[in-house]
Amino acid sequence: MDTTARRGSDPTSRAGGVAGPGGTGASPAGTDPAVSTVGGETAQTLDRGLRLLHLVADAPGGLTVTEAANRLGIGRAAVYRLVGPLTGHGMLRRDPEGRLRLGAGVLHLARRAQPLLAEGALPALRRLAEQAGATAHLTVVEGGEGVALAVVEPSWTSFHVAYRTGARHPLERGAAGQAILAGRSGAAGPVSTAGELQPGAYGVAAPVLGVPGLEASVGVVALAPLDVTTVGAQVTAAAEAIATALR
């Protein structure tokens, strides 16, 4: 039950409030049942709207209103009431077949959140780059591709890979993307590749798991073969540290 609704069920308010001098019942400040009911309904509507966004995000082919209603356990009319404002704010859209899909407004919010993600990941990335002596990076999924969101180069090596922030690549190629794909099935272990994104480059990456709404991996890339056992443990530890920082 919503916390606001529970506050509205104070025993004094159920009995009509505390009697005033004239014997008239008056509810104490802050326990007006009407205000409590409105607050509870608002919280419930917000919760349903957020759940609807998550359902649509997890449905690659979109959802019909009927499917959304069944999954939310509410009526079609209630779903339509949610879709209206979410569409107006660009969070949802209807495709030509009438299926609900995420709107461009979600991308806008995601772009605003990216600097916060990068900032939260930087301490672990710096540590990883120094430990491995290789360029460390945080890669996130955007538009079905892997995008390097944050990159940190080691300070003590003579040579290292220059990896550009914003670089994109297919998820099927390179350790970073393959780690993200492995993370979708719950696999947390490191993934290693050689020469898939750049000839002569070696990569090791691990997925960032347990952060709602985020698909990402942490990895390193180097110009020489990497000890997967040692570096894999370092990469996995960095991924766990970043997940903890972002929760």
**Got the DSSP string for 179-221?**
HHHHHHTT--S-EEEESSSSTT-EEEEEEE-S-TT--EEEEEE
Asked whether residue 7 carries a pLDDT value surpassing 70, the answer given is: no
Residues 27-36, buried b or exposed e (16+ Cβ, 10 A)? beeebeeeeb
The pLDDT tens digits for 173-217 are: 999 999 999 999 999 999 999 999 999 999 999 999 999 888 999
- 137 neighbors 220 (Cβ within 8 angstroms): yes
Measure Cα distances from 153 to 177, 182, 201, 220 in Å: 20, 25, 15, 9
Asked whether residue 171 carries a pLDDT value surpassing 50, the answer given is: yes
End-to-end, the C-alpha distance of the chain in Å comes to: 25
Query: Which whole number is the average pLDDT over 115-138?
Result: 96
Give the pLDDT of residue 35.
42
- Among the listed ranges 1-10, 133-142, 174-183, which one has the minimum average pLDDT value? 1-10
- Give residue 46's pLDDT band: very low, low, confident or very high (50, 70, 90): very high
Q: At what angle do helices 33-57 and 65-72 cross, to 10 degrees?
A: 120
- 195 neighbors 110 (Cβ within 8 angstroms): no
- Among the listed ranges 13-17, 53-57, 242-246, which one has the minimum average pLDDT value? 13-17
Asked whether residue 93 carries a pLDDT value surpassing 70, the answer given is: yes
Give the pLDDT of residue 38.
64
Query: Which whole number is the average pLDDT over 59-65?
Result: 93
- 221 neighbors 202 (Cβ within 8 angstroms): yes
> What phi, psi does 135 have (nearest 5°)?
-70, 125
- 131 neighbors 234 (Cβ within 8 angstroms): yes
Give the pLDDT of residue 238.
98
Whole-number CA gyration radius for the chain: 25
- Give residue 60's pLDDT band: very low, low, confident or very high (50, 70, 90): confident
- Residue given tokens 């220059």 in the structure block: 162
> What phi, psi does 213 have (nearest 5°)?
80, 0
Asked whether residue 133 carries a pLDDT value surpassing 70, the answer given is: yes
Residue 71: exposure state from Cβ atoms within 10 A (0-12, 13-18, ≥19): middle
CA–CA distance, 2 with 128 (Å, rounded to integer):
43
The pLDDT tens digits for 95-112 are: 999 999 999 888 778 777
* 9 secondary structure, DSSP code: T
Give the pLDDT of residue 76.
96
DSSP 71-105: HHTS-HHHHHHHHHHHHHTTSEEE-TT--EEE-HH
